[in-house]
Amino acid sequence: MNRIITESNQTQDHSFVLKGHIVYTPSPEEMTCLPDHYLVCKEGYVEGVYQDLPQAAAHLPLYNCGDQIILPGMSDLHVHAGQYAYRGLGMDLELLDWLNEYAFPEEARFSDEDYAQKLYSLFAERVRHSTTTRLAAWGTIHAPATEILMAELAAAGLKGFVGKLNMDRNSSPAVTERTASSLADTEAWIERTKHRYPGIEPIITPRFIPSCTPELLQGLGELAARSGVRVQSHVSENLQEIAWVADLEPEAQSYSGAYDRYGLFGSTVPVIMAHMVHPSPHEWELMLQRDVTIAHCPASNMNVMSGLAPVKAFLDAGVQVGLGTDVAGGFCISMCRAITDAIQVSKLRAHLVATGQMAGALSSVGGSAGVGQNREAEVADTASAPRGQLTLTEGVWLSTKGGGRFFGKVGSFEAGYEFDAVVVDDSALCKALTFNLTQRVERLIYLYPEVKVSAKYVAGKKVL
Amino acid sequence: MNRIITESNQTQDHSFVLKGHIVYTPSPEEMTCLPDHYLVCKEGYVEGVYQDLPQAAAHLPLYNCGDQIILPGMSDLHVHAGQYAYRGLGMDLELLDWLNEYAFPEEARFSDEDYAQKLYSLFAERVRHSTTTRLAAWGTIHAPATEILMAELAAAGLKGFVGKLNMDRNSSPAVTERTASSLADTEAWIERTKHRYPGIEPIITPRFIPSCTPELLQGLGELAARSGVRVQSHVSENLQEIAWVADLEPEAQSYSGAYDRYGLFGSTVPVIMAHMVHPSPHEWELMLQRDVTIAHCPASNMNVMSGLAPVKAFLDAGVQVGLGTDVAGGFCISMCRAITDAIQVSKLRAHLVATGQMAGALSSVGGSAGVGQNREAEVADTASAPRGQLTLTEGVWLSTKGGGRFFGKVGSFEAGYEFDAVVVDDSALCKALTFNLTQRVERLIYLYPEVKVSAKYVAGKKVL
């Protein structure tokens, strides 16, 4: 007989059982929905999902989640913690204007550690209450403030990577570093913070090519190779920006190629690249050859008018891809909204491609046929399902197992995965009809502001 | 000296003063932001906005809204109350499949008046707590259920129009009427409900051309002309649907032209047409000649893969246009979300037009140059602002004064407008920075799930 444990007497066991409606996506095509099942956590890892509790788990504490839905924790692959304070502002501007008018002035404030403490503790608390368990977060150029962010996220029980930004050109003076000190500060910060904050590790974060000199990029690439520390950055977001990068890096074959020249595109360490809205043929090739995960950020791509990224083509071609909220280019911290935004944007793209109003992947940059283009055109030509849009299952997969891959075996309830789970109470939704579990999942994702994350586990540790 | 009145002792005065931060959009280009001003309501109408309270209003009750923001009530020009129960479901389907799989079976349930009572009271209560004060709502084919919807909306203090649907072909049997009884039921329902429910009036509602025979459309057009009762319907939403209508109505010059042949496109009474995603040159002409208001529904246009409506071109060309949530093609009842969805979709369209990835308005239907196309191409070619996307001010205008026009002088705080006002408490938003009033408005619209409508007035009557 299991001990029945209520919220109030629950302890920090790392081996336990959750009972409830278990949902996960083992693949982009499959959503496994298991009503009233047992999800067994053994020392922080998923042991299995069972209709009847196995004898071997009978001695473990059992938390009965009742009629609630248990989903894998979600991974936010791209979020600017240093922009949290002003999300939902300046949305009438395009990317480069928005950076100058809002992002840079706000990020400059993080030279003040008290301000950083206040903001980052708000940010971490907010993420703690969301469906996000893992994140790749951006701080600012300031190492002390960024270390505060690491401490706050670790204290909230979240896991992931945090970047101190590097910027030594084309930025406002208050957020522009000298090349040598940018490199030295970054190396010292990595030394100081590596393995220091449980579950939160440093990540090398050149802002983007326009704000980093070749010398800085070269130094960061060497640092990554030397230290094994991973890398995150932005790539091919906006056509104006892409043209600028082509001017700045005339020898590179593409925007991604520019990073690659400096060892910053997955040739030595795993890399997250945010956006990739307009991949060129060369970039398609590089994405498939290197250890690069694309953070698709649909909200921000709409808000700063970047365009419609070919996310479905990425998925079909085997590009490693997940989702990012991109706060504050995105205004919403919820990964549920990132899922529905991704689906909506993919539908518009599929509609435009299917009706001949927009060419498939690649043609916007005038390239020759490549992996993504062929596939996207093929799918668009098929009258029957599946069309070129993301399904709900694919959206959930991207936010869990797709993005989770960057953090290890994360984002599924298959045996051996780290035990990241969110318990969702959807009782506030109108229940005039009887919905099956799959339908309840769709509704809780679409109607996310009306549901509540009532409990959350990260690698088996209860953090909410 | 004014009586200071708190929530608890507030009575149903129709002449009173609100003090707070007053915001409204007298035109699509202008947002008037007046911190700490007095908004005077006289017998249900706006008397004026004042920095200092005029002597003439000194005797009126004063409600101090403190640091809250007071906006005009918003008008939801297109919302299916009969689909409220399943919003957020079936979002992987396209329009026609979605209708057959979800809309028709659910609407059939409203033959049961108990079910209608339960659902419509939930719906009305939900709208009462939103920023919406006026709406053009759709019931189902069932006159008794639709009358219940009218009663519930009136009881909630909301104003607007409610439609009993007409459908006599191409629908599932449970929601298909006989032509003669559809006409007779509609006429009897209008007789019974006209002026019966304060502020809520009947509106003639042929679902769309494919579900109405020519005989039914003819009869409804004659009924509109005879009774003066307004009309609402769907038009030019989806390319597949448009092709179907061209087959069904070979003599019409366009989808809108088909309605116009039967007197259902604004030639006799004002009409709301939802969507108009793909206007043909003929439809551009008709929209400008007739008394037709377009309900732009960006969320639903994404969800059921209809496309990107040229809303900015509508605005620039002088088409009468407002916004609709289109629940349940849209999943969100909030007009704030409709604003940000409209802005996002307009940005994608502007981006695609500006970068030559998509042709401007009209070309998608192969038409010759017309009003909208010239204007959209012009705007897209201009490098400087304004570009082809909606601004926040335009979005707010569309949801207030733009859509409000259908209901009379509604949606502004200019003198003589009906006193529709919502008091918004944005105190839950992160306030680490100091935001001016314009910035607070932008944030409350974008971050709508995190703010609260704390009070609401419709034509001077407090309903929340």
What span, in angstroms and rounded, lies between the C-alpha atoms of A119 and A139?
11
Q: pTM value?
A: 0.94
Name the one residue in this structure whose structure tokens are 């039914």: B216
Q: How far is CA A53 from the centre of its chain?
A: 34
CB contact under 8 A, B106 and A433: yes
Q: Which amino acid is at A22?
A: I
Residue A314: alpha-carbon gap to chain centroid: 15
pLDDT recorded at residue B13? 61
d(CA B340, CA B395): 7
Residue A422 distance to chain B (closest CA, Å)? 20
For residues B396 and B85, what is the distance between their CA atoms, to the nearest angstrom?
28
Cβ separation B92–A391 shorter than 8 A: yes
Tell me the two tokens of residue A82.
């240093």
In this complex, do B355 and A239 lie within 8 Å of one another by their Cβ atoms? yes
Put simply, the answer to whether A88 touches B115 (Cβ < 8 Å) is no
Determine phi and psi for A250, rounding to 5 degrees.
-65, -20
Q: Which residue has the tokens 């609402």?
A: B232
- Measured CA to CA, the distance from residue B124 to residue B149 in angstroms comes to 8
* Res B75: pLDDT: 98
In whole angstroms, give the CA distance from residue B295 to residue B313. 14
Quick one: pLDDT at residue A385? 42
CA-nearest of B415, B420, B414, B398 to B28 is B398
Say whether A3 sits in a helix, a strand or coil.
coil
Chain B residues touching residue A90 (CB < 8 angstroms)? 442
B433–A239 CB contact, under 8 Å: no
- Among A31, A92, A332, the strongest candidate for a mutation testing the B interface, having the largest count of B CBs within 10 A, is A92
State whether B357 and A358 contact (CB < 8 Å).
Answer: yes
The H-assigned helical ranges of B174-323 are 179-193, 214-227, 239-248, 255-261, 281-289, 298-303, 311-317
Minimal-distance CA residue of chain B relative to A394: B92
User: How far is residue B323's CA from residue B272's CA, in Å, rounded to a whole number?
Assistant: 11
* Conformation bin of residue B254: beta by default, left when phi > 0, alpha when psi is -120 to 50: beta
Instruction: Tell me which DSSP letter residue A318 carries.
Output: T
Structure tokens at B26: 């007298």
CB contact under 8 A, B91 and A389: no
N-to-C CA span, chain B? 26
What pLDDT band is residue A41 in, cutting at 50, 70 and 90?
very high
The per-residue pLDDT for B376 is: 61
Amino acid A328 reads A
Separation CA A299–CA B444 (nearest Å): 17
Cα–Cα dist A158/B282, whole Å? 57
Find out whether the peptide bond into B386 is cis, omega within 30 degrees of 0. yes
Other CB atoms within 10 A of residue A227 CB: 17
Smallest Cα distance from B440 to chain A, Å? 9
Determine whether the interchain pair A446/B364 forms a contact, defined as Cβ–Cβ distance below 8 Å. no
C-alpha span between A381 and B334 (Å, rounded): 36
> Looking at chain B, which residue has its C-alpha nearest residue A303?
B344
Sign of CA dihedral A143, A149, A154, A155: positive
Residue A280: per-residue pLDDT: 97
Over range A366-381, report the average pLDDT. 46
Q: Tell me how far the alpha carbon of residue A14 is from its chain's centroid.
A: 25
Quote the longest CA-to-CA distance of chain A.
69
- How far is the CA of B23 from the CAs of A224, B29, B68, B414, in angstroms? 51, 14, 11, 11
Q: Which of B176, B154, B159 is nearest to B167 (CA)?
A: B176
Which one of A303, A364, A430 has the shortest CB-CB distance to B122? A430
Beta bridge partners of A160: A135, A200
**CA distances, A295 to each of A78, A271, A320, A390, B183 (Å):** 6, 10, 9, 15, 55
The rounded distance, in Å, linking the Cα atoms of B415 and B400 is 15
Measured between beta carbons, which residues in chain B are less than 8 angstroms from residue A344? 299, 302-303
Please tell me whether residue A116 adopts helix, strand or coil conformation: helix
Look at A84 and B307 and tell me if their CB atoms are within 8 Å. Answer: no
The nearest alpha carbon in chain B to A430 belongs to B85
Mutate to test the interface with B, among A357, A382, A437, A441 (most CBs of B within 10 A): A357
Asked if residue B328 has a cis previous peptide bond (ω within 30° of 0), the answer is yes
pLDDT in tens, B296-335: 999 999 999 999 999 999 999 999 999 999 999 999 999 9
What pLDDT score was predicted for residue A63?
A: 97
Question: Maximum Cα–Cα distance for chain B, whole Å?
Answer: 69
Contacts of A446 in chain B (CB under 8 A): 87-88, 91, 331
Name residues of chain B where pLDDT drops below 70: 1-13, 361-387
Q: For A192-243, how does the pLDDT look when each residue is reduced to its tens digit (9 = 90+)?
A: 999 999 999 999 999 999 999 999 999 999 999 999 999 999 999 999 999 9
The torsion region of residue A91 among left (phi > 0), alpha (psi -120 to 50) and beta comes to alpha
Contact B345 A343 (CB under 8 A): no
Strand partners, B320: B293
Name the residue of chain A whose CA is nearest to B447's CA: A88
pLDDT confidence of residue A95: 80
Q: What angle do CA B458, B130, B196 make, to 5 degrees?
A: 45
- Rounded to the nearest 10 degrees, the angle between the axes of helix A335-354 and helix A371-381 is 70
Burial class (CB in 10 A: 0-12, 13-18, 19+), A384: exposed
Asked if residues A65 and A6 have their Cβ atoms less than 8 Å apart, the reply is no
**Computed from CA positions of residues B275, B277, B280, B286, in that sequence, does the dihedral angle turn out positive or negative?**
positive
Chain A CB contacts of B347 below 8 Å: 302-303, 305
Instruction: List Cβ neighbours of A394 (8 Å cut-off, separation of 6 or more).
Output: A28, A29, A312, A315
Quick one: pLDDT at residue B388?
85
Q: pLDDT tens across A383-434, in order?
A: 334 468 999 999 999 999 999 999 999 999 999 999 999 999 999 998 889 9
Nearest to B61 by CA among B12, B110, B127: B12
> What angle do helix axes A437-446 and A335-354 make, rounded to 10 degrees?
90
- Please give the residue that has the higher pLDDT: either A371 or B443: B443
- Closest CB from B85, B87, B348 relative to A348: B348
Does residue A297 have a pLDDT over 70? Answer: yes
Q: What value does the mean pLDDT of chain A take?
A: 92
Mean pLDDT of A19-25: 98
Q: Do A443 and B89 touch (CB under 8 A)?
A: yes
CB B432 to CB A364 under 8 A?
Answer: no
Tokens of B159: 């104003």
**B307 vs A contacts (CB less than 8 Å):** 348, 351-352, 355, 357
Is B355–A364 a contact, with Cβ atoms under 8 angstroms apart?
Answer: yes
Q: Cβ contact (<8 Å) for B357 and A355?
A: no
C-beta contacts of A116-120 below 8 A and 24+ residues apart? A116/A142, A116/A144, A116/A145, A116/A148, A116/A149, A117/A148, A117/A152, A118/B432, A119/A81, A119/A82, A119/A84, A119/A85, A119/B432, A120/A81, A120/A145, A120/A148, A120/A149, A120/A152, A120/A153
User: Within 10 A of A438 (CB to CB), how many other CB atoms are there?
Assistant: 15
Question: Measured between alpha carbons, how far is A452 from A463 in angstroms, rounded to an integer?
Answer: 15
Beta bridge partner(s), residue A418: A45
Phi-psi region of B95 (alpha: psi -120 to 50; beta: other; left: phi over 0): alpha
Regarding beta strands B62-72 and A421-425, do their DSSP bridges make them parallel or antiparallel, or are they unpaired? unpaired
Per-residue pLDDT of A312-341, as tens digits, reads 999 999 999 999 999 999 999 999 999 999
The residue type at A107: E
Give the containing element (helix H, strand E) for A74: strand A74-80
Supply angle C-alpha A421, A424, A428, rounded to 5. Answer: 175
Residue B356 is encoded by which pair of tokens? 């030559």
CA–CA separation, B39 and B44 (whole Å): 12
For B300, the closest chain A residue by CA position comes to A344
Among candidates A91, A343, A389 on the partner chain, residue whose Cβ is nearest the Cβ of B446: A91
- The answer to whether ipTM exceeds 0.90 is yes
Position A362 pLDDT exceeds 70: no
Whether residue B250 has a cis bond before it, omega within 30° of 0: no
